[in-house]
Amino acid sequence: MERGLYIAASGMVAEMARQDLIANDLANSSTPGYKADRAVQGSFGNMLLQNTRTGQTVGPLGNGARIERQVTDLGAQPLKETGEDLDFAIAGDGFFAVQTPQGVRYTRNGQFTAAANGRLVDQRNNPVLGQNGQPLTIGADGKVPQGNVGIFAVTNARKSGDNLFTGTAGGPGTGEVRSGALEGSGAEPTRAMTDMIASLRAFESGQKVITTIDSTLNKAANQVGSM
């Protein structure tokens, strides 16, 4: 089978995976504390071509592209004042901790609210934890002192969905909790749109390569083969 078909198809598959990440970033461009993802592309190993008669080296031939890894940009984003008593942001490093049915998860999204039982919870009703690992209770004044909200240093932080992260807590984070504010999203719509256009063009290039190879093979089978 024509190797060029596989090379072009591998590039298209890599761009499809990249487009999924970009689309997710665009969808979360307004989500507080969201962290953008980047797809790192690489190539499969090259194959060294040689002349079958003389053994002379012709040169290398690439075997296609692939997504080597997905990288999440965990850099802190600017804070936005909201004036809401139960909104919290972290200035610096660290994560909030919430108790989910799957265990403790971490997040930079401090858009919290009050549960019916008086506890501080996230948007999915997961209790927010203090530095001692216990759920926080909202005071009679409808507030939670910012010093009571726990922030944790998390190693090997990995996305687990719903703007939550898994990882290993390594003690208190070095950042500072601020009430009445939220961290902005790490997704930049302008950059995401530019990346999406570039990815679509690369995908279309792969389509054109496949179309050209298919046309060449068709001529070889029907025209040259009939001579």
Q: Do 176 and 216 belong together in one domain?
A: no
Q: What integer is the mean pLDDT of 144-155? A: 94
Q: Do 38 and 87 belong together in one domain?
A: no
Q: What is the rounded average pLDDT for all residues in the chain?
A: 87
Please report the pLDDT score of residue 151 as a whole number: 94
Q: Do 49 and 24 belong together in one domain?
A: yes
Please report the pLDDT score of residue 61 as a whole number: 58
Please report the pLDDT score of residue 93 as a whole number: 93
Q: Do 212 and 156 belong together in one domain?
A: no
Residue 165 has pLDDT above 90, yes or no: yes
Q: How many domains does the chain contain in total?
A: 2
Q: Do 69 and 107 belong together in one domain?
A: no
Residue 100: give the domain boundaries: 79-183
pLDDT tens profile 83-111: 999 999 999 999 999 999 999 999 999 99
Please report the pLDDT score of residue 187 as a whole number: 92
Residue 226 has pLDDT above 80, yes or no: no
Please report the pLDDT score of residue 110 as a whole number: 96
Q: Do 207 and 153 belong together in one domain?
A: no
Q: Do 99 and 171 belong together in one domain?
A: yes
Q: Do 104 and 68 belong together in one domain?
A: no
Q: Do 97 and 177 belong together in one domain?
A: yes
Residue 46 has pLDDT above 70, yes or no: no
Q: Do 123 and 54 belong together in one domain?
A: no
The more confidently predicted of residues 62 and 146 is 146
Please report the pLDDT score of residue 11 as a whole number: 85
pTM check: above 0.85: no
pLDDT tens profile 187-211: 999 999 999 999 999 899 988 988 8
Residue 143 has pLDDT above 90, yes or no: yes
> Could you tell me which of 110, 153, 155 has the C-alpha nearest to residue 131?
153
Please report the pLDDT score of residue 50 as a whole number: 62
Please report the pLDDT score of residue 183 as a whole number: 97
Q: Do 130 and 143 belong together in one domain?
A: yes
Q: Do 109 and 149 belong together in one domain?
A: yes
